Amino acid sequence: MKRKRLCKIVATLGPASSDKETITALFEAGVDTFRLNFSHGTHADHKERYDLIREVEKESDRPIAVLMDLQGPKLRVGRFVNDSAELTNGSTFKLDMKDELGDANRATLPHKEIFDALEVGTDLLLDDGRIRLRVTGLSGTEATTEVVVGGVLSNNKGVNVPGVVLPLSALTEKDLLDMEFGLELGCDWCALSFVQRPEDVMEARKLVNGRAGVMAKLEKPSAIEQLEAIVELTDAVMVARGDLGVELPPENVPVLQKRIIGTCREHGKPVIVATQMLETMVSAPTPTRAEASDVATAVYDGADAVMLSAESASGAYPFEAVTMMNRIIETIEQDPLYLKLVHADEVLPNPTEADAISDAARHVADLVDAKAIVTFTTTGSTAFRAARGRPNTPLLGLTPDLRVARKMALVWGVHSVNTRDVSSFGEMVGKSTRIARREGFCENGDKVVVTAGVPFGTPGATNNLRIATVGQHEKPDPVA
C-alpha cells in the first residue's frame, strides 16, 4: 500500500460511505485519513464508521488516521411559518430571541452573544452569504436590519458576522460531549471549528490533554489576523474555505490559502486544504476543469493534504471522487515544475540540533542518491520536522506507538510504519533498512539515510544521522 504520491487525501464518511466495502474501496483508492463530521450523524453512527475503519486498518496492515471534526458554535436562525420566508431588498427585517416561528418581517436568532457584539452598521450574512442584512437599530436582544440583498430564507440557515470577534468559545456543550466521545473512541486528530483567537486552541489543548492532535480550522478573519500565534499553538491546520469565503471577498481566499500553507510549513505543522475541491462530483462522475486546477494549486503550494467533504460523504460518486483526486495529485507531483515550486520559498531550519540533523538528512540523501530518509520517532516530531523541508527523497516514519503511526498518515510524504521498539542505534539502523526494503522503497545495495534521537524515547531529541546500505550486516528480524 505504498502510495505513489506525497500529498495526502482526507475523505469524509457519511451516508454514501458507511459500509465496510465502500470504506475499503476508498482506502485502496487513496484515502490516508478518514474524517468523521460531528455536525451530522449520531454517536452510534460515528462509532460504527470508526470500528469499520479500524477493521480495514487491521486487514491492510497500514496505519489510518481518523479525524473528528467538531461542529463548533454554528450560528443559525430559527424556523419559519411554512418553513421559509422571502426577504425583499430595502425592507425592514428584525432578529430577536422570541421562541416563535419567523416570517417575512422577523426571525429568531437564539444567540445572545451576537446581540452583545453587534453595532449599528454591522452586516450579517445569512445562508452562506446569499442574503445580506445591515443593522440599523439595536434594543437589548432585538436587532432591526435593512435587507441589502434579499432572497428566500429557510429554516435553520447559518449566520455569519464578518469582521466581528464574537464572545463565544470555539467549544459548545455539544462539542465537549462529542470531543470526549471521539477521544474515547480513539480518534487521532481533533478539529476545532470557528477558531477566532489563540485562546480557543489553548482551551482545546487542555481538554484533549495529549490524547489526539489538535487541529485549528481557519474560517474566521479574526483567526487570520492572529495566524502566527494560532499556528504556533496548534498541531495542524485546516484551511476551511467555506465560511472563510463567506466572510471575506472570494478573491482573497486564494491569497490566504497560500499564506496559511506557507506559515504552516515554516512552523512544521501539517495543513489541509478543504471545501468544494471536487464539488461537481457530488452529482457527476467527473469534476470541472476548474476544480481539477483547484486541487492542483493546493498540491503545487505544498499542502500536506487535500480533503473531500460532501463528495465522499453524501455524493453519488465517492469512489470516483477519491480516484480522481489521487490521479490529480500523482500527475502534478510528476511535473518537473512541482518540486521547483514547492522549494521556491525555502524553509530555513531552526537553530536546533534536531533541525540541523533533519536538514542535513535531506542534503545527504540527495548527494548519495538515497532511496529513502528513515526517521525513527516516538512522538512523530522527527517525521514532522523531516517533512517540513519537503525533501526530494521519500520519507519512511517508523514508530513503536500505533497512535503516532496513525497521526503521521496525515503528514506530507510520510509513509508511516508501526514497529517494535529498539534498544540501540545499531539495532535501529538494521530495522530501518529491512523495513525500507520490505515496504518497497529500496533493494539490496541501495542506500538509505537514517535519523533518530539518542537516548531513545526522548521527544524531539533527533541528534544522530547514519548512511546505511540495505542488506549489509542485517540480522534476521521476522517481526520487524
Give the active site residues.
Answer: 35, 76, 217, 275
Quick check: 375 and 382 in contact, CB under 8 A? yes
* Rounded alpha-carbon distances, angstroms, from residue 233 to 206, 213, 215, 227, 268: 11, 11, 10, 10, 12
Q: d(Cα 124, Cα 219) in Å, to the nearest integer? A: 16
Which residue is associated with the grid cell 533493494? Answer: 443
Half-sphere exposure of 388 (CA within 13 A, CB side): 27
Q: Which amino acid is at 410?
A: L
Q: What is the DSSP string of 326-388?
A: HHHHHHHHTSHHHHHHHTTS--PPPSSHHHHHHHHHHHHHHHHT-SEEEEE-SSSHHHHHHHH
- Is the distance from CB of 307 to CB of 67 less than 8 angstroms? no
Residues 6+ apart with CB under 8 A from 130: 149, 151
Looking at residue 476, what DSSP letter applies?
P
Burial of 351 (0-12, 13-18, 19+ CB in 10 A): exposed
Q: Minimal CA–CA distance to 125: which of 103, 158, 153?
A: 158
The DSSP 8-state label assigned to residue 157 in this structure reads -
Residue of 328, 343, 354, 361 lying closest to 265 (CA atoms): 343
